[in-house]
């Protein structure tokens, strides 16, 4: 019998940041396929519709880009906070509030043709998302309330706020009482990236965020202080870094990114404010941030994979007849397997040496 043992690593592993996500992906593939074949779906058909179909049409690729954009943007913001040990899990709510702020501008300036409308919407969305996350930061700094709970609960509040607005003040007066706003004018929308698809220019916002996040975390003293605070809180206190500042910075950045992503939705594929703004981007981005090893470059690849799962899930529902929830289940599996495999960051597996009794 193979006798294996876990041994703590003595130095940082170079391969683990690549091996760990790969293990998670492969295990998800195996178990996901197994699970779906248990309910009588052909594994080949499932794999085909999940992973081959989306990549074999321009439309599929456009959809992947469309969904990767907000995931990248939100995950970059969240990862900064996570490296500082600040656990913002309310990006979904920050996205909603950002979308509301952006949409409000688009509705007020319904007829505007100004090139400044879209930038103004982005600014408003980022500010609103940051402000929403700022509530959690204030509660944490002032009352030591866990930001995990408050940011999460604030998401529910944001959702109710959205429901109120789309059925009340921001509802389209000519919309026959449907809970949605007017359709935005073209000055309030992102341009299409690949003609014939829904993908749009907002993907560049995500890519710009990637470059900024990398620069901030690896080149500035503020990023360094956040990392120290996350790795060794006592060392941060010893060095005199303010933990309140780290909490504010982390949550404001995360909130601004999520709010911006919200504007990307209403000014992109939706073109209006409605009840369903996001297929859970704010939560999926948490998985993306970790799967990408909290590393700006890793996050881009993780977001593309997660987007593939979203799009593949849609295809699989139609062509392989899998349940609607399969994509969510696969996301969940991915996170669980990633967390399990992340033990390999700190430990390695060795074969036990056979001992001879003295």
Residue 94 beta carbon to another protein: minimum distance, rounded to whole angstroms: 25
- Site for another protein, rule CB under 8 A: 7, 10-12, 219-222, 224, 227-228, 231-232, 234-235, 237-242, 353, 355-358
Q: Which two tokens stand for residue 217?
A: 């975390």
Torsion of CA 121, 306, 341, 152, to 10 degrees: 40
Nearer to another protein, 52 or 232 (CB): 232
DSSP summary character for residue 90: -
Nearer to another protein, 84 or 106 (CB): 84
Reduce the DSSP state of residue 305 to 3 states and report it.
Answer: helix
Residue 211 and residue 341: Cα distance in Å, rounded? 28
Residue 158 and residue 8: Cα distance in Å, rounded? 43
Residue 247 beta carbon to another protein: minimum distance, rounded to whole angstroms: 15
Nearer to another protein, 219 or 275 (CB): 219
Nearer to another protein, 237 or 275 (CB): 237
Residue 301 beta carbon to another protein: minimum distance, rounded to whole angstroms: 23
Residue 340 beta carbon to another protein: minimum distance, rounded to whole angstroms: 21
Residue 321 and residue 128: Cα distance in Å, rounded? 40
Length of the chain: 358
Nearer to another protein, 85 or 274 (CB): 85
Nearer to another protein, 168 or 240 (CB): 240
Residue 173 beta carbon to another protein: minimum distance, rounded to whole angstroms: 49
Q: Do 147 and 86 contact (CB within 8 A), yes or no?
A: yes
Element (H, E) at 7: strand 4-8
Q: Beta partners for 130?
A: none
C-alpha to C-alpha distances, 130 to 77, 125, 160, 269, 282, nearest whole angstrom: 11, 8, 18, 23, 14
Handedness of CA 252, 258, 263, 264 (dihedral sign): positive
Nearer to another protein, 114 or 218 (CB): 218
Residue 259 beta carbon to another protein: minimum distance, rounded to whole angstroms: 24
Residue 246 beta carbon to another protein: minimum distance, rounded to whole angstroms: 13
């Amino acid at each position: 019998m193979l006798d294996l043992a876990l041994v703590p690593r003595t130095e940082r592993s170079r391969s683990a940041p690549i091996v760990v996500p790969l293990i998670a992906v492969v295990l998800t593939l195996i178990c996901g396929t197994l699970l779906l074949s248990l309910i009588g779906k052909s594994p080949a058909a499932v794999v085909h519709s999940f992973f081959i179909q989306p990549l074999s049409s321009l439309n599929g690729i456009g959809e992947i880009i469309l969904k990767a954009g907000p995931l990248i943007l939100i995950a970059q913001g969240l990862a900064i906070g996570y490296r500082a040990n600040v656990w913002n899990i309310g990006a979904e709510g920050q996205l909603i509030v950002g979308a509301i702020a952006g949409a409000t501008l688009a509705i007020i300036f319904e007829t505007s043709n100004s090139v400044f409308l879209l930038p103004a919407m982005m600014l408003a969305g980022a500010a609103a998302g940051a402000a929403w996350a700022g509530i959690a930061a204030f509660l944490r700094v002032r009352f030591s309330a866990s930001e995990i709970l408050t940011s999460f609960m604030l998401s529910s509040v944001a959702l109710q706020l959205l429901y109120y607005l789309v059925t009340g003040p921001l509802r389209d007066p000519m919309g026959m009482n449907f809970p949605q706003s007017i359709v935005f004018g073209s000055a309030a929308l992102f341009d299409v990236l690949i003609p014939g698809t829904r993908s749009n220019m907002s993907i560049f916002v995500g890519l710009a965020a990637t470059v900024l996040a990398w620069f901030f975390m690896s080149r500035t003293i503020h990023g360094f202080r956040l990392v120290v605070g996350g790795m060794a809180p006592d060392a941060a206190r010893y060095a005199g870094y303010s933990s309140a500042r780290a909490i504010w910075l982390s949550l404001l950045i995360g909130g601004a990114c999520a709010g911006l992503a919200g504007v990307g939705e209403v000014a992109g594929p939706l073109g209006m404010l409605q009840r369903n703004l996001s297929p859970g981007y704010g939560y999926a981005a948490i998985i993306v941030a970790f799967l990408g090893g909290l590393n700006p470059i890793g996050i881009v690849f993780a977001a593309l994979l997660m987007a593939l799962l979203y799009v593949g899930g849609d295809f699989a529902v139609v062509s392989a007849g899998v349940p609607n929830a399969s994509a969510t289940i696969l996301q969940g599996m991915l996170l669980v397997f990633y967390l399990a495999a992340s033990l390999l960051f700190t430990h390695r597996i060795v074969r036990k040496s056979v001992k001879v009794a003295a």
